[in-house]
Chain A
């Protein structure tokens, strides 16, 4: 399949694939903004997403024969110029963002029509493409300052996208504003950290930085840079306790945006964190290891339990899932905090799996929202009978979120527990199980409403059975199916995560 597509593609396109992944959505976003009709804008959006998917497949083909692909922007090689660098670690994030982006664009057609005013739709799609390009840029670039630029590009578009929820819920404006303030603080912290690193090493290229740091050793400056980068990117990744912006933003933004952001934005920020912690700094450095154990693992464990408890007490299903996202970041933090290849692989696996399940869950909530207003858990009552297909997708993804066998949620928790046990951290295993039980409780609350309660009534009559449009059902169904499919064919995600982990760990 990959070979076939590669064989059909001109050689020049293969060579330029790393640049085109980012630049094509970026330039198409400008065209999208001036499109006269929302349908044309959506068409451009879809073609951009399809093109990115094609390029990522080409990158897969290229990476099968080499360890790393380097593309020098403007012909300026590293360390002078900006290079785009693809290895096993960021290729899987690229694949994740590209596929979720494509599914979300297909899903978005009906929901955007429902939620966004007609004259704003082209600009909305344009902002989405900018966000998409920004996230891909953060993932693919090998330049520390370029990471900051793309973080800002994607974040600024995100603030606009979240604020677009204001047509349905005015609280989207304050949610977006809160995120703007906190996101800017996060980005500023990150750029201060990069500035310190630049001061200490004299280079902005991440691979070069790692080489110089290994040679010169660490000083107060690089330690301060480490702290700034962890806090800055941690804010973006919604690591507990830096997650306060997230629940409101997810609960009020348009459902297309929630589904997309929940499965990509925080994941990309977490990837950037992994890149800095493992590929610029090395886990065997004393203070890095100390922060892994005492910051990432401990805070991750506290986060996964506290955020799950908070999720348990939410009445709005979207806020509930948002708090659950914060708890899931806790699992990734724990995996990362183990500081070995096994733990990192588990964290990456959970990152991908969580994107798949949360994408499906938020898409299903959006599908319900097309027909009924969903702002309380009781609004879900009886939807199992009213909208069975969407309810089934929600159920499968929900089961996966708990981590019950036969779903990918089980796979990544299994690998995480094995990795934790290898370090002998029994308390962390207990916390993972505890948090999974809490997830069982809050998912059951929603599933019980969906399947056990009576369907909604309208003027004394039961609302007739209805169905979301096919373009909503297909991407949602695919993501829900992926939750089961990748349990039985775990090699793809597991193998990708293990290759990624060994690629960064081996690069020390």
Chain B
């Protein structure tokens, strides 16, 4: 991997910033535009960029497929888990108000949406990467010469 020196250096610089921007979008989602879906896509882009520049093998070493599988499932578990916790605390499913006694500032609502968005982030990131891996990791049924 000696080629594309500029691309490699620039992407190494950019990838942490992309993740940081993703997290900014994620937490901005509590108050305005943004949220788990958009942030998840942005964070997945950092892995996809890494795979494009350094190759699939390097990317799968950094973010292995089994981790992606767990990430996909854990997002759903976090989201639905918040619902079950609110049930255990005496509210209806996803009734965030019971999460925190401070009703005047709607602290429970803030907490609830924060956790739910983290669940969304986990699943969207993982699914985006999984889709990319599935397409990029596909081995053609026959080699190009055989056509």
Contact = CB atoms under 8 A, between A and B. Distances in A.
Contact of A72 (B74, B83, B84, B92): B92
A33 B69 contact: yes
A30 B80 contact: yes
A34 interface: yes
B93 interface: yes
Given A16-B87, A29-B76, A30-B77, A73 B69 contact: no
A181 interface: no
B108 to A, nearest CB: 10
B94 A30 contact: no
A23 B81 CA distance: 10
A16 B84 CA distance: 10
A74 B76 contact: no
Contact of B77 (A31, A72, A74): A31
A130 B81 CA distance: 16
A290 interface: no
Interface string B55-88: 0000000000000011011111100110110010
A419 to B, nearest CB: 39
A71 interface: yes
Given A27-B84, A34-B69, A71 B92 contact: yes
A441 B84 CA distance: 53
A25 B83 CA distance: 13
Contacts of B70: 34
Chain B interface size range: 20 to 34
Interface in A57-76: 71-75
A75 B92 contact: yes
Most buried by A among B80, B91, B96: B80
Chain B residues touching A, majority SS: helix
A33 B72 contact: yes
Nearest to B69: A34
Contacts of B75: 30
B46 to A, nearest CB: 24
A204 B57 CA distance: 48
Given A30-B74, A34-B70, A73 B81 contact: no
A27 B80 contact: yes
A19 B77 CA distance: 16
Contacts of B95: 74-75
A26 interface: yes
Contact of B93 (A19, A29, A126): A19
Most buried by A among B73, B92, B95, B96: B92
B92 A73 contact: yes
Interface in A257-290: none
A16 B83 CA distance: 11
Nearest to B94: A74
A123 to B, nearest CB: 8
Contact of B73 (A12, A19, A31): A31
Interface string B87-116: 100011111110000000000000000000
A268 B77 CA distance: 26
B73 A23 contact: no
B84 A23 contact: yes
A63 to B, nearest CB: 19
Given A23-B83, A26-B80, A27-B84, A74 B92 contact: yes
Contacts of A26: 76, 80
Given A72-B92, A74-B95, A75-B91, A27 B81 contact: yes
Interface string A107-143: 0000000000000000000100000000000000000
Nearest to B75: A30
A34 B75 CA distance: 12
B31 to A, nearest CB: 19
A193 B72 CA distance: 32
A27 B92 contact: no
A75 B99 CA distance: 13
Contact of A73 (B72, B77, B80, B93): B93
Contacts of A19: 83, 87, 92-93
A73 B94 contact: yes
A471 to B, nearest CB: 27
A27 B94 CA distance: 14
A27 B77 CA distance: 6
A148 B81 CA distance: 23
Contacts of A74: 92-96
A30 B76 contact: yes
B131 to A, nearest CB: 13
Contacts of A27: 76-77, 80-81, 84
Contacts of A23: 80, 83-84, 93
A309 to B, nearest CB: 39
B73 A34 contact: yes
A74 B82 CA distance: 11
Contacts of B92: 16, 19, 71-75
Interface string A1-36: 000000000001000100100010011011101100
Contacts of A31: 73, 77
Contacts of B74: 30
Contacts of A75: 91-92, 95, 97
20 contacts: A12-B87, A16-B92, A16-B93, A19-B87, A19-B93, A23-B83, A23-B84, A26-B76, A26-B80, A30-B75, A30-B76, A30-B80, A33-B69, A34-B70, A34-B73, A72-B92, A73-B93, A74-B96, A75-B92, A75-B95
Given A19-B92, A30-B75, A72-B92, 10 more contacts: A16-B87, A19-B93, A26-B76, A27-B77, A29-B76, A31-B73, A33-B72, A73-B93, A73-B94, A74-B93
